[in-house]
Amino acid sequence: MNGASLRGCGGEEVISWQDKNSAKVILHGLSQSRTINDDGSTSFSRFGGDDYWIELLKTAVRDSQVTGFIHETAIKRASRRVQEPTPDQFIALYTEERKKLRGKKLPYLVAFSIWGKTGILKPPLPVLDQRVTFFPEISGDVSAAIERERERIRHESKYLFETIFSDHPSYETIVAKVYANAPEDAFERAYKTIAMIIGCTTFVDGSESFDIFGKSVHKPSLQLLIGPQSTVHNLAGQSAYEGFWYTEWVPKRRLPAQPLEERISSVTAEVGRVLDAVVQSCWREKCEAALLLYYDAFSEHQSSKSIFSGWRLLEVIAGGQEEKSDVLIRRVASFYSDSHVAEIVGLHLRARRNSATHGENWTLGVNDTCISQLRNLIRPMLGNFLINPQGFHSTGEFWKFCDATRNLDTLDATERILHAARQRQKALAKPQSDAAVEVLPA
């Protein structure tokens, strides 16, 4: 895939244009919007400067291996070095600025409000980014300073927080130590990591929330959520960024019951197995995207947003946006013994998604039921996609297998492929605890 990096299979990072012909048009437009003076300063020909063209460049320059902050900052710096660079020149300038930014590593502490089954997030958490460590060793004075700063920010923004933080005592603050270029970079790294871990944890746990009171506000499906306030601090606990990151939030009526120690141990063991598979995956980037979309879809407070993000998750694991939805539905249904019923559910959810796109209102019960149906429909295929027990080397092989299971003429050949893949996987498999909550057999 152009611009992607298959890190788990030894692929190299690639920076590229989404479309080189479009790049020429964008760079020409950029050159008309500003003048780079002899002293290195920049003069702009219109109000708003070059923001219009910078925004286009953020889409046009493909580089999935850096945070959004580094991507945008490197583009801005590269855009103000040469009056009208060629596409190749701009990529070279971008790469140079990117390297400078990535070489700068400062320590920050990022604090998140976590709601729900917080007991299931036991230290140490899995390492998905070598620059991010959750539950670092910090003194009581530093912890107190972080809480004071967070309280100060809530007080200064009480017009927002006095409502959404009415259930404040039910939150737990979790801190990560992050080596990053800037506070914004630190937040992005930490948020991506904790969202993937929570996405994987809630996927393995499988618990769902139900609104037994029948009120009109949609309740997120997940029972472990990132709360509304995220902040970045220096190593002394003082704010390193004047502000905070806000997550859409509706106060919750009650906390879900905390799991027993035996359940925590079994879920933690299985989460470790799944995330180990993700780190070693030949399509690690897609696995990470799937975990982020899983969390994004089922942590939403609005059903329409859940159905849209959930459908994007289906596209990631079943074939991409360019694939016809009928094909995506057949592939996800192929993991069910009664694939015909699963296809009916998929077609129903597609119709609901299309209805939401055109502004149709649903009743609450249908909302919650649809979100639960979508989450359960995706679950078997997502588990196979993340763990890859068949040992496929590409998503293309994986999707061909999904298609082949629908074709009786190729079923015998498919079973032979599966048998060989399982034998290969058994030779590589690590011993698993009998207590593990298995997403898929080892």
The domains of the chain are located at 7-103, 106-268, 281-428
Tell me the per-residue pLDDT of 225-262, one tens digit each, with 9 for 90 and over. Answer: 998 889 999 999 999 988 888 887 776 666 788 888 99
Tell me the per-residue pLDDT of 201-215, one tens digit each, with 9 for 90 and over. Answer: 999 998 776 554 444
The closest alpha carbon to 276, from 67, 422, 439, 401, belongs to: 439
Better-predicted residue by pLDDT, 202 or 414: 202
Mean pLDDT computed over 365-386: 87
Residue 353: predicted pLDDT: 87
Mean pLDDT computed over 99-111: 93
Q: How far apart are CA 326 and CA 328, in angstroms?
A: 6
Q: Which residues contact 369 (CB under 8 A, 6 or more apart)?
A: none
Inform me whether the pLDDT recorded for 428 exceeds 60.
no
Tell me the per-residue pLDDT of 175-203, one tens digit each, with 9 for 90 and over. Answer: 999 999 999 999 999 999 999 999 999 99
Tell me the per-residue pLDDT of 42-81, one tens digit each, with 9 for 90 and over. Answer: 888 777 678 899 999 999 999 988 999 999 999 999 999 9
Tell me the per-residue pLDDT of 81-91, one tens digit each, with 9 for 90 and over. Answer: 999 999 999 99
Mean pLDDT computed over 113-125: 89
The upper half-sphere exposure of residue 283, i.e. CA atoms within 13 Å in the direction of its Cβ, equals 24
Better-predicted residue by pLDDT, 171 or 384: 384
Residue 163: predicted pLDDT: 60
Q: How far apart are CA 139 and CA 100, in angstroms?
A: 32
The band of 219, judged by pLDDT with boundaries at 50, 70 and 90, is low
* % of the chain with per-residue pLDDT over 90: 55
Residue 439: predicted pLDDT: 59
Better-predicted residue by pLDDT, 120 or 3: 120
Q: How far apart are CA 247 and CA 233, in angstroms?
A: 18
- As a dihedral over the C-alpha atoms of residue 441, residue 199, residue 316, residue 74, rounded to 10 degrees, the angle is -130
Mean pLDDT computed over 6-14: 50
Task: Say if CB 237 and CB 146 are below 8 A apart.
Answer: yes
The closest alpha carbon to 297, from 361, 207, 374, belongs to: 374
Q: How far apart are CA 334 and CA 414, in angstroms?
A: 13
The closest alpha carbon to 439, from 199, 169, 93, 140, belongs to: 199
Residue 215: predicted pLDDT: 47
Residue 427: predicted pLDDT: 43
* Among 139-153, 208-222, 363-377, the least confident range: 208-222
Better-predicted residue by pLDDT, 167 or 155: 155
Residue 421: predicted pLDDT: 55
Q: How far apart are CA 196 and CA 291, in angstroms?
A: 5
pTM: 0.82
Mean pLDDT computed over 346-370: 74
Residue 64: predicted pLDDT: 83
Q: How far apart are CA 8 and CA 427, in angstroms?
A: 19
